[in-house]
Amino acid sequence: MSYTESIGSYLIPTQGIFVDADTVVKTVTQEIDIGATGADHGEMLCVRPCQVYRLKFTMVTELAGGTSTAPTVLFKKRPTPKSATGETTMGTVTVPDATAVGATIYLDITPVSLAVGDAMEISHTVGSGTPTGKGFWSVDITDSPETAVNNTELTLSA
């Protein structure tokens, strides 16, 4: 039997880290305009060991269109929140031209383990042509086989 848990069981917005509070809000509650200039959309802090195995982007209020080079949504693992030092790309979701509202583009990846204290940063690159498209990112997550004992970022309180 399997149980589904929400992303909030594993990842939370890094509130208080960003100077611009709107960036944090956009991470979880506002759609990303992949037709606009490429941008970072904030990051999520890992609060429970997990493995990310699928990356997704769902078109919501505007279809993806007008591109000769498709826009992409990037998911990056950061060993230190708010720092690009040592970050690695977990995967890149390419959103093809004419992806309709309601459609979800997904990418299965080799599971990436996130330990407590790691962060996942979300950004996008704009395509070329006259790109349009608005939607939400999401990920599929499972428990990590890690334990508190071997998680170097988790320290037992005195």
CATH of the domain at 102: 2.60.120
Give 143's DSSP letter: E
Is residue 63 domain-resident? yes
Is residue 110 domain-resident? yes
Q: Record the tokens describing residue 118, joined without a space.
A: 């790691």
What domain count does the chain have?
Answer: 1
Is residue 155 domain-resident? no
The pLDDT assigned to 156 comes to 75
> Is residue 104 within 8 Å of residue 36, measured between CB atoms?
no
Tell me which residue range forms the domain holding 42: 7-145
What is the maximum alpha-carbon separation in the chain? 58
Is residue 22 domain-resident? yes
Give 150's DSSP letter: G
The pLDDT assigned to 157 comes to 80
The pLDDT assigned to 130 comes to 87
The pLDDT assigned to 18 comes to 42
Mean pLDDT by 10 residues, the chain (158 residues): 66 59 50 87 89 94 86 94 93 94 96 93 89 91 75 74
Is residue 41 domain-resident? yes
Query: Cα dist. 157→148, 154 in Å?
Result: 12, 9
Is residue 42 domain-resident? yes
For the chain, the residue count is: 158
Is residue 80 domain-resident? yes
Sequence letter at residue 115: A
> Is residue 90 within 8 Å of residue 76, measured between CB atoms?
yes
Please state the separation of Cα 74 from the chain's center in Å: 7
Is 0.85 topped by the overall pTM? Answer: no
Q: Which residue's entry shows tokens 């940063």?
A: 121
Is residue 150 domain-resident? no
